[in-house]
Structures are given as C-alpha cells and as structure tokens.
Amino acid sequence: MFSAKSLVKCLAIGAALTFSMTSRAEYPNKPIRVVVPYAAGGTTDAISRMIGEKLSGKLGQPVVVENKPGGSEQVAMSYVKLAPADGYTIVISTVGGLSVNPSLYGSKLSYNPQKDLVPVVLAASLPSVFFVNPSVPVKTLDELTDYLKKNPGKVNYGSSGPGQPSHLAMELYKSLTGVDVNHVPYKGGAPALQDLAAGHVQVMVAIGAEGMPFVKAGKLKALAVTTATRTPLFPELVPAAESKGMKGFEMPTWYGYLVKTGTSNAIVHRLNVAFNEVLQDKDLRKKMNEMGIEVLGGTPQDLDARIKQDTVKWGKVVHDAHITLE
C-alpha cells in the first residue's frame, strides 16, 4: 500500500507533469522576438522580417524583430544568453557567427555556439561568386588560376573584412590551387565591390546578388559560383568545385535559427515545424529567390551538423592562413 507521503509525492509529480504539458501545449501564448545580429536594412534583417511575418501567422502570435548589431554577432548572442530558455527569444545567425567566430576569437569569444544555443532550422543560403575586373584577361576560374600562377604576388583581391566569408573563400582557394594573391580588406562588401569595379583590386569572392548587377552593367565578370552544385539562382555559372584543384570547394553564406540551451524539445520541435511550413510558402520562396537567396529548411540536426562541419573546415583555413583580427 502507498503511504500518505508516497501519495503526496505522486500527486506532486502528476501536478508538475500536467503543468509542464499544459505549458507546452499553450506555446506560444505571447509575442516572440527574433534577435538579428546586424543592423536594419541588411540581408540578415530582410530575411528575418520576411520569414517572421509568415511565422507569425503560423504560430498565431506577433513575431517582433529586434536588431542588436555589434561585435561580429557577440552583442546579440550575449543578449540571447541572458534571456529565459522558453522559446520566446530566437536568434538568427550565420556561418560567421556559428562556425567562424570560435576560431577567430578563441577564448575571447563571449559565447559558445555549440553549448549556449540549440539549433532549430537551417533557413537560407546566399551563394557567392568569383568576380574579376574586366581588365583581367580570363573567362573561367581555371583561366584565373593559370593567370595568377603566371603573375605571383602581382594581383590583389578584395574582401569585406578580415575573417569574413569573402576573405575565407579566397584563402581556401589559395590553399587548394597554390596561387599567390594579395589580400586587401575593406569595411564591408559594398566598398570592396566598388573598388573591384574601379580596378583598384582585381578579384573578389562576393555575394552573388550583390555583385551580379555590376556584371549586367559590364563592370565585372562572373567566373564561377561557390555552391557545391549548380544553382538555379545563377544557372549560367558553373560551380567552382568543378575547376582544377578545387574538388570539394563550397562557400555559401548560410543562415540558421536557434534558441537558448535549455529550451524544451517540445518547443524546439514546434518551432521547427512552423519554420519549415513557412519556408515552403510559394510567395516567400519567390521573393527570396528574386533577392538571390536560396531557401532551405530541414531538421535541427541538419543545422547542428552544418555548424560542426563548418567549424572544423573554416577553423583549419583560419589557422593555416594565420588570419587574425588585429
């Protein structure tokens, strides 16, 4: 027979389980905030607002975007770390914030992507493209590699800044092909592309959607896309991985949604289902494709695997190229 103490204990456990199940069943019952690590008006902000608008309809609650730029995503991540692990604070992050920063900052990084955050969904990707100034006498990536080998140390490439995807992609290209080309960092992709078009630098790996208008205007040439396979966003471009010595090369700028560690599995699942439904919306996909954005989706495990895979990949590039933020 149960003692009175055992009965009270069972009732308490039952009540706690009932409360937990009810709490989860009611999620969400108030507005959800999506923290964006970059300023309003940029690509990350645009993606979060387009998806957020559709997500609000799926979840039946307002989805509010909060921009917290600074520190290469560290300001936003620190904010999320202090929020309750209840699913009402979501962060959208990038390959830089989740897979590159740990190697760039080391012990100085204010967060640990794999310990402080739980993946929800890999949402989107921005393919990049190898661009050259029209003065460079090449039409393909193979021709560029040959040209650079014949002119070691005489050609400059631009990037949006040290440790940025445009920098890492070129360093990986250098390591795979053995070319010698000089790095000229800029404070952002826009000024770098402007100088590329003006001929102050000759080569750059840049986000396709940002560089293709220069190609259409005759100010740049596009050689190859950095996706593993051909992309319908730029069907005329072959993957860089098909060029000599470039097997396995891939450098998309991807975006994922995460919540604070400790958030219940039920809430993570609820969010993942809602995000995937939103990412299948035809109007959303059309709008994002027109912006040069590839819409993804999948399980939390897909994002977790991508984070870990790219942490190893780009960590090696950072180490081998001696990339620092000094």
- pLDDT in single tens digits along all 326 residues of the chain: 444 454 445 444 444 444 444 445 589 999 999 999 999 988 999 999 999 999 999 999 999 999 999 999 999 999 999 999 999 999 999 999 999 999 999 999 999 999 999 999 999 999 999 999 999 999 999 999 999 999 999 999 999 999 999 999 999 999 999 999 999 999 889 999 999 999 999 999 999 999 999 999 999 999 999 999 999 999 999 999 999 999 999 998 999 999 999 999 999 999 999 999 999 999 999 999 999 999 999 999 999 999 999 999 999 999 999 998 86
Q: Which two tokens stand for residue 321?
A: 């190229």
Tell me which residue of 24, 52, 25 sits closest to 275, measured CA to CA: 52
CB of 80 closer than 8 Å to CB of 298: no
| CA distances, 247 to each of 177, 214, 250 (Å) | 10, 28, 9
Fold of 128-242: D-Maltodextrin-Binding Protein; domain 2 (3.40.190)
Question: Which SS3 state, helix, strand or coil, does residue 156 take?
Answer: strand
Tell me which residue of 138, 154, 156 sits closest to 146, measured CA to CA: 138
Distance, CA of 79 to CA of 85 (rounded, Å) = 12
Would you state the pLDDT for residue 325?
81
> Where along the chain do its domains lie?
29-124+253-320, 128-242
Would you state the pLDDT for residue 324?
86
How many CB atoms within 10 Å of residue 322? 7
The CATH number for 29-124+253-320, chosen from 3.40.50.410, 3.40.190.150, 3.90.1720.10, 3.40.228.10, is 3.40.190.150
Residue 256: beta bridge partners?
Answer: 93, 122
Reply yes or no: is the peptide bond before residue 84 cis, omega within 30 of 0.
Answer: no
Would you state the pLDDT for residue 294?
95
Q: Which two tokens stand for residue 39?
A: 């300023």
Query: What global pTM score does this model have?
Result: 0.87
Distance, CA of 121 to CA of 155 (rounded, Å) = 40
Q: Which two tokens stand for residue 156?
A: 């400059």
Say yes or no: do domains 29-124+253-320 and 128-242 share a fold. yes
Q: Which two tokens stand for residue 239?
A: 């993957």
Would you state the pLDDT for residue 93?
98
Rounded to a whole number of angstroms, the distance between the first and last alpha carbons of the chain is 71
